[in-house]
Structure 1
Amino acid sequence: MSTVVAVVVFVVAYLLIASERVPKMVAALGGAGLVVAFGVVGSDEVFFSRDTGIDWDVIFLLFGMMVIVGVLRRTGVFEYVAIWAAKRARGSPLRVMVLLVLITAVASAFLDNVTTVLLIGPVTLLVCDRLGISPVPLLIAEVLASNIGGAATLIGDPPNIIIGSRAGLDFNDFLLNMAPIVALELVVFTLVLPWLFRGSFTVDPQRVADVLALNEREAIRDTRLLVKCGVVLAAVFTGFIGHAVFHLEPAIVALLGAGVLVLISRTRPRDYLAGVEWETLLFFAGLFIMVGALVHTGVIGHLAQLAAHATGGNALVAVLLILVVSALLSGVIDNIPYVATMSPLVADLVTDMTNPVHADALWWALALGADFGGNLTAVGASANVVMLGIAKREGIPITFWEFTRKGALITTLTILLAAPYLWLRYFLLT
């Protein structure tokens, strides 16, 4: 009975989110309330379980970075970067998109992709405001790039951290095995941008002339605060990159950075809390509870086992099946609980592999499928939800299907490129 309730509630809530008949936060919290009310999960599973409860690391990482961005916004640095980017691109919307997409992808490899979109989103909105163009295509392109770029390293996407821990893979392993295909994916993604967002690159020449005449240095409103923010951000980024050395999770680093910055900047609570996307945080909490119910009742584990047993002992079939199934399931549910559930099953498959190269390929298939699959729908990855929250806050909501139409195409493209890469590198050339 609990399994049926968990599945029905999740499906109904997901359909409400996709149809946008009710706010996604209401749908997620309503669904979460139902699975708790029907006894599918209890307070222990919701609040204290790492496998089936709210992922507090994600919630507090987002909260900490939102506070930091809220303080940083007061310096005028986002206006500075926006004017700089527009001038370097000579006012061309397509060149602006390419520039910001590349910045986003590279940054997402060395920060988590949620932090990257929190930083790049305000810049994009200001660039588009200056040029008088719609920011929607740029925001969608950037979040797609963040999910692709984040796949390159151990720390770029949360599923990679889970896989690295389970498989004993370090930063260099990810860099050597994931970065080559990610670089290729980014080149192809950049080439298809004019087609993917065709009709979105018209701009008023007068607006371009006005932007080129601006002096970006005049945008900085508080130099002393900017220096303080720069020092804190440098420390936070160092903590993100070296979290395995410092033994501090990214969420703790973000909260410490936010606390220190609020203290030394003496920013009023209403100023730094104004930048917090409360609806986004509550949506995540509800989504985690509903997905946790699916994990708790064994639904996700059962689906993963079906995928694992369908391989018939063929290593290549297993790799490709894990790649495709991971992309599909990660696009529908959050890829963090999916990878947490699937990684023990992949570990079991690895023990049956006689060829260590084929065994490693299973882990890379899981990582590529989960990371690239995050682009499939508007709720497939944390970065997607955050960016849509930023857009809604600015009065330019991006609908579920508006994002998903683009995301599904890019997911298909990236998986089609990843499949031959896995075959060539770990089977044909070994």
Structure 2
Amino acid sequence: MTVIAVVVFIVAYMFIATEWIHKLLAALGGAAVLLALGVTDAEHAFYSHETGIDWDVIFLLLGMMVIVGVLRRTGVFEYVAIWAAKRAKGSPLRVMILLTMMTAVASALLDNVTTVLLIAPVTLLVCDRLGINPVPFLIAEVMASNIGGTATLIGDPPNIIIASRSGLTFNDFLVHLAPLVVIELLVFCLVLPRLFKGAFAVDPDKVDNVMRLNEREAIEDSRLLIKCGVVLSLVFVGFIGRPLLHVEPSVVALLGAGLLVLVAGVEPRDYMPSVEWRTLLFFAGLFVMVGALVKTGVIGQLAKAIGGVTEGRALFATMLILVVSAVLSGVVDNIPYVATMSPVVHQLTKSISDPVQADALWWALAIGADFGGNATAVGASANVVVIGIALRAGSSISFWDFTRKGLVVMAISILVAAPYLWLRYFVLS
């Protein structure tokens, strides 16, 4: 069964990477084969938290897509797009930096999937106004969301898993990871001009037209905007207050979507077209395939192998966890990887006498898993969501278009993170 799970995953991944067939067909086809051959079953695929579809992710996406669909009717995305373009004085590079910084900060306060769902429509509009290709901007933003989400406990789902296993608090994440994220974002901004070279040419006439626009005129329904603002504020409070409220983000998003539809008085035809059904089904298939790898012990064996070679050497263990987590999180979703790796790291910390150096292993796991999500188009949930939004807007992002950039960003991020971990926990501690 283990061999079958690995072979099916590799074949499906090749189809996704090469785009020989549509990625949705590859993911659902792979999941169907694994279910048909008995490698996994309904119990593990649909009901297990460790090996099944992550319904929290699915319903979080569904709820936020409905909210965005209603919000789009207010004209607020057009407002923000014009505002951003005018503040950047029409410079595509400054627009990219402004939007990526907004995305990174928002991803630290919310989860990165919710953030890109809100930022992507703005990006498509501002690029349309300036007459430039939105693909580089969308890729840059989703990478910034994966970096920014690393800063806090609630910014990226793997951090929540790590916190529950290690006992680390919201403030611990903020104190230990936020400084690194600031450094990473500065480096990322410096890399952007070279990473997306040739993406910043713009027609001066388009810029002049944008600068003459009045963003306030873009608001089409101010009363609906107020209602959306109130509901979104409640949703954000629910996200941020999760440690106290003990309500899952998916429940918060669905409650928010239901409340907004109720108070806004809109029809299903007004918001349902905003739901990315192909993206949701792709996630379902991908979760089943990765879950089969977890069920058959593939990911667990890889994780235990790391523990076998470290032999209590804290610095070596930290760097090994950092690099391996980054590489594997680029191939499989980082949520099941971190869920599998957390018990291994917990055991490793017991063999390290210095508590500061022991905690460094947890930080290496968080950094590697979160930054590693930038490596490929399927490395993080936010990546898949943005690619789906771009496709709906007529701007296709291929697996390799994303991955060629993502591997560079991931490598640079890890190269910056490694000396940070070494200096902070082994030299200056």
1:334-356 deviations in Å (ceiling 9; x for gaps): 00000000001100111111110
Following TM superposition, by how much is the alpha carbon of 1:313 offset from its aligned partner in structure 2, in angstroms?
2.1
Give 3-state SS (helix, strand or coil) of 1:251's partner. Answer: helix
Q: Partners of 1:271 and 1:103 in 2: how far apart?
A: 27
TM-score (norm 1): 0.99
2:400 paired with 1:401? yes
Q: Aligned partners of 2:302 and 2:104: how far apart in 1?
A: 31
Alignment match, 1:205: 204
Q: Which residue of 1 aligns with 2:167?
A: 168
For structure 1, list consecutive stretches of 5 or more residues without a partner in the other structure.
none
Q: C-alpha separation between the residues in 2 aligned to 1:308 and 1:21?
A: 38
1:95-134 to structure 2, matched below 5 A, reads 95-134=94-133
Equivalent residue letter for 2:210: V
1:248 aligns with 247
Q: Secondary structure at the match of 1:50?
A: coil
* Cross-structure match for 1:14: 13
C-alpha displacement of 1:231: 0.2
Contact in 2 for aligned 1:132/1:203 (Cα 8 Å): yes
1:292 equivalent in structure 2: 291
Q: TM-score, normalised by structure 2?
A: 1.00
Shift of 1:312: 2.6
Partner of 1:23: 22
Q: Secondary structure at the match of 1:375?
A: coil
**Aligned-pair CA distance for 1:371:** 0.2
Residues 57 and 250, structure 1, Cα contact 8 Å, conserved in 2: yes
RMSD across aligned C-alpha pairs, in angstroms?
0.5
Task: Show the 5 A alignment for 1:154-303.
Answer: 154-303=153-302
| Pairs within 5 Å for 1:33-72 | 33-72=32-71
User: Match of 1:107, SS?
Assistant: helix
Segment drifting more, 348-357 vs 291-300: 348-357
1:414-429 correspondence to structure 2 within 5 Å: 414-429=413-428
1:91 partnered with 2:86: no
Distance 2:156 2:391 in 1: 24
Q: What amino acid does structure 2 have at the position aligned with 1:53?
A: G
Report how far residue 197 of structure 1 moved: 0.8
Shift of 1:184: 0.2
CA distance in 2, matches of 1:74, 1:23: 31
Distance, in Å, in 1 between the alignment partners of 2:343 and 2:272 is 39
> Residue by residue, what CA displacement relative to the aligned partner does 1:298-328 show, whole Å, maximum 9, x if unpaired?
0000011111211132110000000000000
Contact 1:240 1:253 in 2 (8 A): yes
Give runs of aligned pairs for residues 279-428 of structure 1, distance below 5 A: 279-428=278-427
1:3 and 2:2 aligned? yes
**What is the CA-CA distance between 1:74 and the residue it aligns to?**
0.4
Structure 1, residues 220-275: CA drift from partner, whole Å, max 9, x if none? 00000000000000000000000111110111000000000011111111221110
User: What amino acid is aligned across from residue 259 of structure 2 in structure 1?
Assistant: V
2: distance between equivalents of 1:318 and 1:243?
Answer: 32
Distance 1:324 1:308 in 2: 14
Structure 2 distance, partners of 1:299, 1:200, is: 41
Task: Assess if the C-alpha contact under 8 Å between 1:308 and 1:322 holds in 2.
Answer: no
Shift of 1:416: 0.4
Shift of 1:423: 0.5
Amino acid at match of 1:213: R
Return the letter of the residue paired with 1:398: I
> Unmatched 5+ residue regions in structure 2?
none
Q: Deviations over 1:8-30 (max 9, x none)?
A: 00000000000011111110000
- Residues 53-78 of structure 1 show CA distances to partners (whole Å, capped at 9, x for unaligned) of 00000000000000000000000000
Q: Distance in 2 between matches of 1:184 and 1:261?
A: 38
Residues matched between the structures, number = 429
Q: Aligned with 1:75: secondary structure?
A: coil
Whole-Å Cα distance in 2 between the matches of residues 204 and 134 of structure 1? 12
Task: Give per-residue Cα distances to partners, 1:195-241, cap 9 Å, x unaligned.
Answer: 11111111000000000000000100000000000000000000000
Q: Secondary structure, in 3 states, of the residue corresponding to 2:424?
A: helix
Separation (CA, whole Å) in 2 of partners of 1:425 and 1:87 = 41
